[in-house]
Amino acid sequence: RPAILHPQVCDAAPLFVAVALVGFVLLAQKYIEICWRHPEGGGVVTVASEAFSPRMGLIGGLLISVSYFVTSAISSLSGVVYLGSLFPWLEEHVVSVAIGALLLLALINTVGIRESAVLALVMAAAAFVVNVGVIGATMLKLGPEGWGAMFDTVFGGAELGVPTLLVGYSSAWLAFSGLESISQ
């Protein structure tokens, strides 16, 4: 989602994505520890209940449920907006197509967890292939001079104020929130 981030922080967007990636790696390490400690599962509810109280487990479960819905809505909407750049007729129907995608996701989850997991795997594999293609095409198009100029721009020491830092980091972290929700 650097395209969403770019208008907020301009050329520093890759820097914020890299910083959020570090946070994501640390979060993944914490999930490894939680899975080791609680092989039966339970996630937020189990950990918060054990660490604090069952009431905190309930609150954690409620908050993560809200996170699922918000992340699903944002991901569906941004996905349709991105597809609209390839298929212009979608731009007129962004909200209705995003709602349709959410209903399809709900239907698949109703059918079964296995089907939902298979769909998530297929989508993740497709996203990986697309990302590798985009990175490869960008590398070829920019060439060594372009990559040098990009690194100079990103790491050139531009002054970023506190609001830009907060917006940049939170927007980059939002890009990883879908991954966090999938891990739940």
pLDDT tens, 49-104?
Answer: 888 999 998 998 888 888 778 877 887 888 888 888 888 888 889 899 989 988 98
Answer yes or no: are the C-beta atoms of 168 and 8 closer than 8 Å.
yes
Residue 78, pLDDT score: 80
pLDDT at 55: 93
Tokens, residue 91: 């731009």
Residue 68 and residue 181 in contact, taking contact as beta carbons nearer than 8 Å: yes
The angle formed by the CA atoms of residues 110, 111 and 114, to the nearest 5 degrees, is 110
Task: List, in order, residues 6 or more apart from 31 with CB less than 8 Å away.
Answer: 183
* Range of lowest pLDDT (20-34, 96-110, 112-126, 162-176): 162-176
End-to-end CA distance of the chain: 21
Predicted model pTM: 0.56
> How far is Cα 173 from Cα 162, in angstroms, rounded to an integer?
16
